[in-house]
Structure 1
Amino acid sequence: MLKALVTDVDGTITDRRRRINTPAVEAVRTLIDAGVEVVFASGNTVCFMDGLCKMVGTDGTIIGENGGVYRRGFSGTLRVPGDKKACLAAFEVLNDYFAGKGVELELFGEQYRFADVAFARNIDPDEARAVIRDHDLSVRVLDTGFAIHLQTPGVSKGAALTALAREMGVSTDDMMAVGDSENDIEMLEAAGIGVAVRNAPPAVQAAADRVTEGAYGDGFVEAVKKYYPYLFSR
């Protein structure tokens, strides 16, 4: 039996306008009440994740900043495998480069981030990747569809899921992961069962064991009911 579920937030338990899908919240609560651990995994900050966990009703176990941070429960120690200094240095290189082209990069919540750097999607991420390569910087560029992130190698939602599973005392084989974006690929591959919702791009769908018929939060609910049917057949 699957003992834990790890799910992305934006684009996975929301609609296309980033509004929380209320049936998805109900499904999460059904899992929690049945003793299944639910982990939110996002590119968002810890403070954002804490608010979400409290409002939905999870125990506060999170993966944030695309795996740059993770924590077991609200009272657990915040682990920070990411290197924010390296990401900030790379951001300055990108900022100088795009400023020369008349484009200003807008940081998102830098003061609330422990591990990665996020900024607005007003540039081509492939061009940013080329600049990073040209400067031989040990940082990767992630496009989540909502922001562009910089993170250090080895950091991912998948690596955080694996480390968090050890703290939870759960095998990754007994975990299910659901996501929709390129920052979810490693997570889908690390979990025993990886599910992509229908709105996920082809590369994400290819990494998944299953792709839902429904998109966004409706796809999430479909996946939960598929793999935990005994909780929804009453």
Structure 2
Amino acid sequence: MLKALVTDVDGTITDSRRRINTAAVECIRTLVDGGVEVVIASGNTVCFMDGLCKMVGTNGTIIGENGGVYRRYFDGTLQVAGDQQVCRDAFTVLQDHFSAKGTGLELYSPDYRFADVAFARNVDVDEVRQVVRNHGFPVRVLDTGFAVHLQVLGVNKGTALHELAGMMGLSPAEIMAVGDSENDIEMIRAAGVGVAVANSTGTTRTAADYVSEARYGDGFVEAVKKYYADFFSR
């Protein structure tokens, strides 16, 4: 029996313009009111996640910075799993590399991140990966479609899901995870039921147990109503 839900944000409970799908919010609230813990998971910052949780109506349990940080409840202790200094060192090398080619890198929210580094997608991501590999940094390069993220190897949304499952007294098999992007793959694989919405990348779809017919937030609603049908037939 599924007892918790972990969901990505951008591309999963939004539309193609990053607007929150109101039907997805209603689904989340129905689950929360029925006693299902809903975890919001994103590459975004903790402060962004806190505001979103308040507006959507969850209890504040989050996975942020692509698994680099996680926390149960609004008043819980923030757990930092990543090593931001390694990511900063890699970013400095990337800055030098692209600056020599006449391109600057724009950091996103540097004062509000604890584990990873995120910057604008104004350079070729494959080139970013090559530079990181050439310098031997133990860093993963993630392209979320909205930003490029640097995160230490071995830290992802899936590892955070495992840690939160223990904090909730659950097995990962009792959790459903929904996502759309490459940074959701480990989370989808770690969950008892992994779902990819129809607009997902090919590798994300391959990792999932179920791929929705609908895209974006409508696909999220489809999957939730399929696997938590009892909550919507009362």
Q: Is TM > 0.5 for Structure 1 vs Structure 2?
A: yes
- SS of residue paired to 1:10: coil
CA shift, 1:102, in A, is 1.1
After TM superposition, the structure 1 = structure 2 runs for residues 124-203 of structure 1, keeping only pairs within 5 Å, are: 124-203=124-203
Long gaps (5+) in structure 1: none
CA shift, 1:10, in A, is 0.5
Give the Cα separation in 1 of the matches to 2:165 and 2:233.
28
- SS of residue paired to 1:177: strand
- SS of residue paired to 1:104: coil
Give the Cα separation in 1 of the matches to 2:156 and 2:125.
18
Partner of 2:25: 25
User: Residues 78-116 of structure 1, C-alpha deviation per residue, up to 9 Å, x if partnerless?
Assistant: 000101111011001001101111111100001000000
CA shift, 1:125, in A, is 1.0
- The code of the aligned residue for 2:50 comes to D
Partner of 1:216: 216
Give the Cα separation in 1 of the matches to 2:111 and 2:157.
21
Give the Cα separation in 1 of the matches to 2:22 and 2:183.
24
- SS of residue paired to 2:5: strand
Give the Cα separation in 1 of the matches to 2:138 and 2:153.
7
Give the Cα separation in 1 of the matches to 2:83 and 2:124.
24
- The code of the aligned residue for 1:80 comes to V
Partner of 2:43: 43
Count of residue pairs brought into register by the alignment: 234
CA shift, 1:233, in A, is 2.1
CA shift, 1:34, in A, is 0.5
- The code of the aligned residue for 1:56 comes to V
CA shift, 1:231, in A, is 1.4
CA shift, 1:166, in A, is 0.3
Give the Cα separation in 1 of the matches to 2:196 and 2:117.
25
Q: TM-score, normalised by structure 1?
A: 0.99
Q: TM-score, normalised by structure 2?
A: 0.99
CA shift, 1:211, in A, is 0.4
- SS of residue paired to 2:198: coil
Partner of 1:8: 8
Give the Cα separation in 1 of the matches to 2:208 and 2:103.
36
Residues 1:88 and 2:88 aligned together: yes
After TM superposition, the structure 1 = structure 2 runs for residues 60-99 of structure 1, keeping only pairs within 5 Å, are: 60-99=60-99
Residues 1:34 and 2:34 aligned together: yes
- The code of the aligned residue for 1:96 comes to D
Partner of 1:120: 120
Residues 1:227 and 2:215 aligned together: no
User: Residues 48-89 of structure 1, C-alpha deviation per residue, up to 9 Å, x if partnerless?
Assistant: 000001111111000000000000101111000101111011
Q: Cα RMSD (Å) of the superposition?
A: 0.6
- SS of residue paired to 1:149: strand
